[in-house]
Chain A
C-alpha cells in the first residue's frame, strides 16, 4: 500500500504543465538555447558573458523554459528557440535506431516532458520530434515493464538509473502492483500492523511544553 502522507500531483507530460506538479516545476527550470531577435536595452547585467549595457540583437544565451515560454511570441519576434542537441536530427536518428541503449536520465532527465514543451515553439522539425518522442517511449516500454514487474526485493537503482523521470513514475507504479501481490501471496497482507502514529506516540512531559 502507498504510504505517502500527501497525494502528489502527476506531471502533465503533454503540452500542458500541471501547475502543482513538482516534476513540472523542476522541468520549467530546464535551460534552452535561445537567440534574441531584438535588443534588450539596459539588461546587459543579466548576461554575464558580454560586458555591454544592453543585450544586443542576435545574442545567443541559455534561458530557462519558463522565461522562454513567456518571451516567445509567434508574431512579434522577441526570441527564437534553438533545439537542444538531444532533440536534433543527429540524436533523433540514434533514438529511432534503438531507444534502449540511451541513458535518458543523462539526456533529460525530463526528456519526454521537455520534448513536448518544445512543441510550443514553432519549428519545422516539430512533427519529427513528436514522432520520435512517441517511438522512444514505445521502444523502451517493454524494458520498463519487465524490470518493474520482476525486480522484487532487490536493488533497483541500477535499473532506474537510466530511466527518464516519467518512466521512473511508471516503474514505481509497477512496483506497487508487484509488491502488493507478493505481500498478499506471502500472507503479509492479513497481518495487522500498528499505525506509525501510535508507535511514535509518547507522553509529553509538562517541562517539554513549558520551557
Chain B
C-alpha cells in the first residue's frame, strides 16, 4: 500500500487494517457459535456492520493508486471521478472530508414514495430497493446528509416503509401461529426486519411445538424419567 500520498495520514492504514481484521474475526465467530445462549440473538449493530459492506459511489477529492485489501481491491481514486467503495470506507473518507458521497439511486423522494404506495397496496412483502435499506438510510443520512437532497423527507419515507412492513410482518406472524403452519416463505424480508422479531418468534414457536407435541400421547411418554 502506498502511504506517501495525501489522504492516508498516519492513522489511516491502521484503521483500515483494523476494520479488515474485524471482518475476518466476526465471520469466524459467527461460524463457530461458541456461546450457546446467544445463538438466537443478533444485535442490530451487528446487522449494521454487515450492511457496511454494501458498496456506494463516492467522488473523491484526492488521488491514490489502487489499494489491495482482504475484501477486494479498491480504487484507483482520482479527484472528480466516481468510484465504488464499501460504505464503511465512504463514511470514513466523508468524515475526514476527503470525498462526496453519491446517494444510491433508490434514495430519492419519488422512488421511495412509489415503494411506499406499493407496500401499502400489496398484502405481501414487496421487493425493497436494497437488502439493507434501513441501515444504509440511517448511516448515510446521519453522516452525509449534506450530500443527499431532501434528507428529512427520505428519512420519514423510509421510516414509513419500515413501519408498514413491520405491521405486515406482525400480521403474518399471527396468522402463521393461529393456523399452525409448519413453514413460511420469507421472501423480500430484510435481515434487520427478521432480526427484530427473531428472538420472540423462535421462542414462541418452541413453546407452540411443545404444546402441540402434548396432543400426541406417547410421543414423549418417557414416564417419570427423572425419578
Name A's B-contacting residues (CB within 8 A).
Answer: 1-2, 7, 12-17, 19, 69-70, 112, 116, 119-120, 126-127, 130-131, 133-134, 137-139, 141-142, 144-146, 148-149, 166, 169-170, 173-174, 176-178, 180-181, 183-185, 187, 189-190
Contact = CB atoms under 8 A, between A and B. Distances in A.
Interface in B92-128: none
Contact of B227 (A69, A149, A183): A69
A120 B198 CA distance: 32
A180 B197 contact: no
B214 A138 contact: no
Given A133-B214, A134-B212, A137-B208, A15 B220 contact: yes
Given A116-B210, A141-B204, A177-B198, A17 B177 contact: no
A124 B178 CA distance: 26
B43 A176 contact: no
The 4 A-B pairs of least Cβ separation, nearest first, read A184-B44, A14-B210, A174-B200, A130-B214
B199 interface: yes
Interface in B177-201: 177-178, 180, 192, 195-200
B187 to A, nearest CB: 21
Contacts of A149: 170, 196-197, 200
B70 interface: no
B223 to A, nearest CB: 7
16 contacts: A69-B224, A116-B214, A120-B223, A133-B214, A134-B208, A134-B212, A142-B174, A142-B177, A145-B174, A145-B204, A176-B199, A178-B196, A180-B43, A184-B43, A187-B142, A189-B43
Q: Is the interface of B mostly helix, strand, loop or mixed?
A: helix
Given A7-B37, A177-B197, A189-B43, A127 B215 contact: yes
B157 to A, nearest CB: 15
B133 to A, nearest CB: 14
Interface string B201-227: 001101110111111010011111111
Contacts of A131: 215
Contacts of A170: 200, 203-204, 207
Given A142-B174, A173-B203, A189-B44, A137 B211 contact: yes
Given A134-B214, A145-B173, A145-B200, A189 B45 contact: yes
Please indicate which of the listed interface residues B170, B214, B225 has the most CB atoms of chain A within 10 Å of its own CB: B214
B200 to A, nearest CB: 4
A141 B178 CA distance: 8
Given A13-B211, A120-B224, A142-B174, A174 B199 contact: yes
B66 interface: no
B45 A190 contact: yes
B41 interface: yes
A199 B56 CA distance: 40
Contacts of B43: 1, 180, 184, 189
Contacts of B41: 2, 176
Interface in B158-179: 170, 173-174, 177-178
A120 B217 CA distance: 9
A178 B206 CA distance: 20
B48 interface: yes
B44 to A, nearest CB: 3
A16 B213 contact: no
